[in-house]
Chain A
Amino acid sequence: AQSVTQLDSHVSVSEGTPVLLRCNYSSSYSPSLFWYVQHPNKGLQLLLKYTSAATLVKGINGFEAEFKKSETSFHLTKPSAHMSDAAEYFCVVSIAGTASKLTFGTGTRLQVTL
């Protein structure tokens, strides 16, 4: 079975400060890992994905994540938060050969304050 645990349900940062959203995964096989973002009244959008190539993955809007097998983690970071980053973020795992079926975490709501 595969699963992801998002360690924080809510994170608040000031604009211009770093962002860290934590995710741990559990998988019996080599996983593909994703981060999706969900803005209010908008569809889920892919931020970045890890599929067994480089362990440091760069995504859109300045986000990046590092796959650490020894820690079973895939934390999402951004050096400097922007007000437009306020949204719900989902860490997602998928197993090769499962036709891209996704298992989502419970989400982390990112709040960005002035």
Chain B
Amino acid sequence: DTGVSQDPRHKITKRGQNVTFRCDPISEHNRLYWYRQTLGQGPEFLTYFQNEAQLEKSRLLSDRFSAERPKGSFSTLEIQRTEQGDSAMYLCASSPHSFDGGNTEAFFGQGTRLTVV
């Protein structure tokens, strides 16, 4: 399978615990994105990387959230001191570089569903 993969698929954690999610993008894609989707809503942009550089962060990404892409390949999203409001589906997507500044298709993983109890 050469698509975007995310691990774990499901995570249940107690409030106050830290959690970390992993995303493996399509290998030749240099752009990687994290989105969050809550029940009944469309996904919301959190952050994106071009290679290893984190180029943009949404104001939704509070100080408790941190994302890394250390070697420009896989990425991790960590949430510290989880709160019940963090319960959501966390989606990762990747896309190839656009040489003309246009938009290229984003390919999504199946997501990690986080439940904070």
Q: For residue B54, give the distance in angstroms from its CB to the closest CB of chain A.
A: 12
Q: Which of B36-44, B64-72, B76-84 contacts A (4 or more CB under 8 A)?
A: B36-44
Q: How far is the CB of B83 from chain A (nearest CB, A)?
A: 23
Does B20 have its Cβ within 8 Å of any Cβ on chain A? no
Q: Digitize A84-113: 1 where CB-to-B-CB distance is under 8 Å, 0 elsewhere.
A: 000000101011111111111111000000
Residues of chain A within 8 A of B40, CB atoms compared: 106-107
Residue of B31, B44, B102, B110 ringed by the most chain A CB atoms within 10 A = B102
**A44, A95, A97, A106 — most chain B CB neighbours (10 Å):** A44
Q: Which of B48, B103, B110 contacts A43, CB < 8 Å?
A: B110
A88, chain B: closest CB distance, angstroms:
9
**Contact A100:B103 (CB < 8 A) given known A43-B3, A44-B91:** yes
